[in-house]
Structure 1
Amino acid sequence: MKKVIVILGILVLSLNSCSSFIEEDNRSFAAAEEYFLTTAGFESLVNTNYSMLKDIYGGDPWLFEAGTDMYSEGRNMEPDGLSRYLNLNPTSQGVDQLYRTCYASIQQANKGLYYANLTAQSPNLSTRIGELKFLRANAYFLLVQTYGGVPIVLESINTAILAFDRNTAEEVYTQILKDLNEALPAVSTGAYTGRVNRRAVQNLLAKVYLTKGYESFGTSADFTTAASLADQVINGQQLNVSFDNVVRPGNEMNAETIFSVQFSAATNATGVATLGNAQGYYFGPYLGPAATGNPYPNRSYTLLPTVYALSLYEKGDRRWEGTFMTEIYSRYYAYYEVVDKTALKITDFYEPSWFTTADRAAWKTANASRYQNAATFRYHDWGTYSSSSNVSADYATIPVRKFDDPTAPYGTATNNRVSTRDFIISRLGETYLVAAEAYLKAGNTVNALARLNEVRRRAGGGTAGVIPVLTSIDINTILDERARELLGEYHRWFDLKRTGTLVTRTVLHNPKITNASVFNGLNGNLKILRPIPQTVLDLNRSTNYPQNPAY
């Protein structure tokens, strides 16, 4: 494999060894190189690697969720290229986000691995090396899914070198699997505490093998391996935490969390509107001005659920009310503050898809006394509050509540990273669905159905039959279930890209994309992979770094 060197722009990011979130605490005031040779210094360096995840997942969601079947533009505009594809090009807004943040993370991991060979021996050293390899593999996995083949950089670079070659996607997958398989025996086998453990490595390995299986260089054995690894993560554990508790604010470290990005009010103290995560900001309607004391959270009114996303939920599916705030109280956050909500006054109600005319009349009769003001109360009929509805009015679309943070300060459109909730990257509900997909692709529909139906059992409150058990399965069945279970959890674009359904499902369900021709790129190539950012190409002096074919 050719030696690969990173560009100056990435290098500048990676050379900033102090994160805004977890500082490399050099109390000795010695040179950093000397500090990292101590046990405390090396631990600080590894902690900084974890903090790099905050920039990868804490900011804008466009590369994860925009331009899919699940969400489309509301009153505020998404980046045009990433959300509608027609004008997608190497200079499009947001195209570089994962390239920048993932390479910064990779270089920080490389730095940690470099000092691991020099630092003082300690009982945790091999464990920390495993953690660093996992973090590097995670960054490369995001890159290869988004951009295809990218440079493999394994050295800790501290000088500006402006030429690098592009590795193939197959080579990147090989490196990812190498890092993860070396991490597996090294990391902790204990319960999840916020650090990478064996279960987290197995879970990422399962997703890597599953995704690789769809590639031209993948094999059927990849699906079999992915299924086996997912079952090792599951290890007989049923989904016994209620969905409402899985997404409850402050309960992110529940028994089903496999790996997450750790946020807290303490680590955000120096930038309360810029150092948290923005997951709660983007999914849902504007509910009031961004001002301290307002009874409603500040939201962007940008990524709104489509009719397809809303119509997936069936009567009895606890995920409907676990995902959406179906009743708006005069004080929005009273939902989390008041145990007995029967006396709370409501301003809005969003009708579910299964309501009949009789259900509507019965609800209005039973709840008339709860209206805060009968003259201004808004009853939103089914079909009137999706992203394709009239979104110019406040409250016009249903709020996504699963990312609410009642303790977060108010932010603004430009300072929206206010949530101090942990960002869950992987949890057991998704692992069951990874297993279902892997078994399906491996030809074992019996096991695929069993894994998927366990997710549905929990969705029905843990009672079999509350929502129907499925008796047949295909990739669309799995994508529908992933949509119900994982709405807004930064998986959707990768799901559609992986399964080869990005064009068909987006055109079918996204009201802003009605023609597949928007995906047409240069020379008959489709805009599936994101373009390599133009800033990367401009700084690179190598002649062996081609742009992706569609651009």
Structure 2
Amino acid sequence: MKKLFILTIIATLSFTSCEDYLEEENKSNVTAEEFYVTEEGYEALINANYALLREIYGQDPWLFMSGTDLYMEGRNPEPPGLSQYSQLSSAEPEVEFLYVRAYQAIQQANAALYYADITEQTELIPQYVGEVKFMRANAYFLLVQTYGGVSLVTEKIDDVVLQFERNTAEEVYSFIISELEEALNLVSTGAFVGRVNHRAVENLLSQVHLTRAYESFGPSDDFSKAAQYADNVIGGQQLNLSYEELWTPGNELNEEVIFSVQFNRESIGISPTTLGHQQQNFFGSYLGGSEVAGDAPYKSYNLCPTRFALSLFEEGDERWEGTFMTEIYGRYYDYFEVEDRSTLEVRHFYEPQWFTAEDRAAYVAAHPEAEYHPFGEHDPEGADISGNFNTIVIKKFDDPESQFVAGGSEDRVSARDFIVSRLAETYLVAAEAYLGAGAAGTGLERLNEVRRRAGVADATLAEFDLDYILDERARELMGEYKRWFDLKRTGKLVERASMYNPLIEVSNFDGSNGLQKILRPIPQNAIDLNQNQNFAQNPAYE
């Protein structure tokens, strides 16, 4: 058995359901072994597995977003290693975040699979096993993309173990796919209501096959399998919601959501600044301090959209208004809470790149009270980032019911569901997979469904290539914790980050042994605690 030193003991929490997490106090001194073999106890263990998704997706976004072509630091710094690579080392604290959280999830999943055989048997046990296998596979997928080959730990560990082996990336991908193929036959085939279902499993399979297709060890049919799984998920469903509807607060369980991490206001009520998530905190300039408490979300000024990101949108693309808060009113949240905003005073306006001099003059004449931010002066390259409101804000994650907490980006205050996967991305996965499989015409059809919903002209076959897909993913998925994985998967990380992020040069990626820093380093704590001297660091960091 390959074993891992578990860095953090996972607290066993009991929750009533995915939609209504409630902490339970054990007043009867019942041990875990006694509790988990009961129907109630095992359901609590399954829900604890879901709860750990909040820790993976609810906290720092650096490993998902930093150091790419779409986001760069504004007034406040990102972690320098992850954002600019030249200082990236195994000792950087943020490198450890996903490694620890993913292995916490894996250990919790291993416990659930262990107790599945000895707990009180009900008709839901096979379904629960399928759900847990999905979550374990998802954790390994995050790990293998980020760090390469890692230790496959598949059994419940009760004792501290100080020696473990490192599996190859090929072995990890094979394990992920086998887990998901088993889960397919176990999980519910019903609609998504907060729990893993058949569609979510097929969707993850499409992403895993697509990602492995770019690896040297990927089988020749990975692209075609990714396309088939994606088409199974699509199932002929069109993108019927407007982009604005898709991101309307309170509409997170809409028809296009394939899988999301569940939050709500009641479930974080016992600690409303630590149990929510941080997605609204990033992606824009600071919007004021305690003087506007309750009237605006906290924005960290850390991950501001680059000028390149803003330039990707063309006139008529509904995703421009659906993604960005282009007009800020006297009270920020009036955008969400006032039905007729035509009489509201505009305090700030952020110009799109297609505005002409005539467009600018017309807007200024109609809104003389507004501070006008010309294009090229509201991104981190052009803005005066010493003040507030000076870079454009991504609005689509805003939670009007969240607290304003002056503590900053460490506070987890949003109680909106965190959307992990949705239908438009599946269309784009299919587009990329068909392109890789040599069926560009079919891939173009999938991509153009996304553009149809956005209200822009179809792409042509002549322009349809990997870079076009990455641009389309940027427009559609801005801020959705995808970008580093997209660039790493497609082999475009160095090229596009150095081309479009002013803080990154190609030489920043130079590592040891003549290799580039593409994978993240295995955290130094994991290396130091491991007594297996043959466990290798990623060679660019040796």
Pair in the same fold by TM > 0.5: yes
Q: Provide closer, same or farther for how the CA distance between residues 214 and 346 of structure 1 changes in structure 2, counting only shifts above 3 A.
A: same
Map 1:3-402 to 2 at 5 A. 3-9=1-7, 12-14=8-10, 16-18=11-13, 23=23, 26=26, 29-290=29-290, 293-368=293-368, 371=369, 377-389=370-382, 390-402=384-396
Shift of 1:227: 0.1
Structure 2 residue runs of 5 or longer lacking an equivalent are 16-20
Residues of 2 paired with 1:431 and 1:22: CA distance? Answer: 33
**Who is 1:526 aligned against?**
516
Residues of 1 paired with 2:328 and 2:293: CA distance? Answer: 17
2:440 to 433, 441, 445: 445
Q: Provide closer, same or farther for how the CA distance between residues 8 and 430 of structure 1 changes in structure 2, counting only shifts above 3 A.
A: closer
**Aligned partners of 2:399 and 2:416 also within 8 Å:** yes
SS of residue matched to 2:95: coil
Q: Provide closer, same or farther for how the CA distance between residues 294 and 42 of structure 1 changes in structure 2, counting only shifts above 3 A.
A: closer
User: For the aligned residues, what is the CA RMSD?
Assistant: 1.4
Shift of 1:364: 1.9
Identity %: 54
Which residue identity is paired with 2:374? D
**Aligned partners of 2:282 and 2:409 also within 8 Å:** no
Residues of 1 paired with 2:499 and 2:475: CA distance? Answer: 17
Which residue identity is paired with 2:398? D
Query: What are the superposed Cα offsets for residues 92-150 of structure 1, whole Å, 9 maximum, x if unpaired?
Result: 13001110100000000000000001011101010000000000000000000000000
The TM-score, its normalising length taken from structure 1, stands at 0.95
2:421 to 412, 422, 426: 426
Residues of 1 paired with 2:387 and 2:399: CA distance? Answer: 24
Q: Provide closer, same or farther for how the CA distance between residues 489 and 290 of structure 1 changes in structure 2, counting only shifts above 3 A.
A: farther
Shift of 1:340: 0.8
Residues of 2 paired with 1:478 and 1:22: CA distance? Answer: 42
**Aligned partners of 1:292 and 1:409 also within 8 Å:** no
Structure 1 residue runs of 5 or longer lacking an equivalent are 372-376, 461-465
**Who is 1:374 aligned against?**
none
Q: Which moved more, 1:288-297 or 1:93-102?
A: 288-297
**Who is 2:526 aligned against?**
536
2:487 to 496, 499, 518: 496
Residues of 2 paired with 1:289 and 1:489: CA distance? Answer: 26
**Aligned partners of 2:72 and 2:302 also within 8 Å:** yes
Which residue identity is paired with 2:430? A
Residues of 1 paired with 2:461 and 2:215: CA distance? Answer: 29
**Aligned partners of 1:71 and 1:387 also within 8 Å:** no
Map 1:450-465 to 2 at 5 A. 450-460=445-455
**Who is 2:537 aligned against?**
547
**Aligned partners of 1:57 and 1:423 also within 8 Å:** yes
Shift of 1:32: 1.8
Shift of 1:18: 2.7
Query: What are the superposed Cα offsets for residues 7-61 of structure 1, whole Å, 9 maximum, x if unpaired?
Result: 142xx333x3237965467576422211111111111100000000000000010
**Who is 2:402 aligned against?**
408
Which residue identity is paired with 1:346? V
SS of residue matched to 1:13: coil
**Aligned partners of 1:314 and 1:467 also within 8 Å:** no
1:467 aligns with 2:494: no
The TM-score, its normalising length taken from structure 2, stands at 0.96
Name the count of aligned residue pairs: 533
SS of residue matched to 1:550: helix
Which residue identity is paired with 1:124? L
**Who is 1:487 aligned against?**
478
Query: What are the superposed Cα offsets for residues 253-306 of structure 1, whole Å, 9 maximum, x if unpaired?
Result: 000000000011111112111111000001111000146735222110110000
Which residue identity is paired with 2:5? I
Residues of 1 paired with 2:30 and 2:291: CA distance? Answer: 44
Which residue identity is paired with 1:454? E
Q: Provide closer, same or farther for how the CA distance between residues 414 and 451 of structure 1 changes in structure 2, counting only shifts above 3 A.
A: closer
